[in-house]
Amino acid sequence: MTYLLGLFLYFPEDKREYIPAAITCTLFLIAAILTMRLIMKISKRQEEKAKQFEERLRKENVIQDKQ
């Protein structure tokens, strides 16, 4: 069983082989963070629009209720 799991693990002797993987991982981490911040910014904008729309509907309902 140990031999079978050992086939899938690869630890290079030359540690310079980790550099491309580290660069790729860093780039994807930065992209993920930027994407998350963009989604949060868009969500915040949509939340404000929804609040304004809800407030406008409430005002219209108050005016219709008085008539």
Residues 51-63 pLDDT 10s: 999 999 998 888 7
Q: In 3-state terms, the chain is what percent helix, strand and coil (to 5)?
A: 85, 0, 15
| pTM greater than 0.75 | no
Distance, CA of 25 to CA of 60 (rounded, Å)? 52
Contact indicator for 18, 12 with CB cutoff of 8 Å: yes
Positions of the chain with pLDDT under 50: none
Distance, CA of 31 to CA of 26 (rounded, Å)? 9
CA-atom Rg of the chain in angstroms = 27
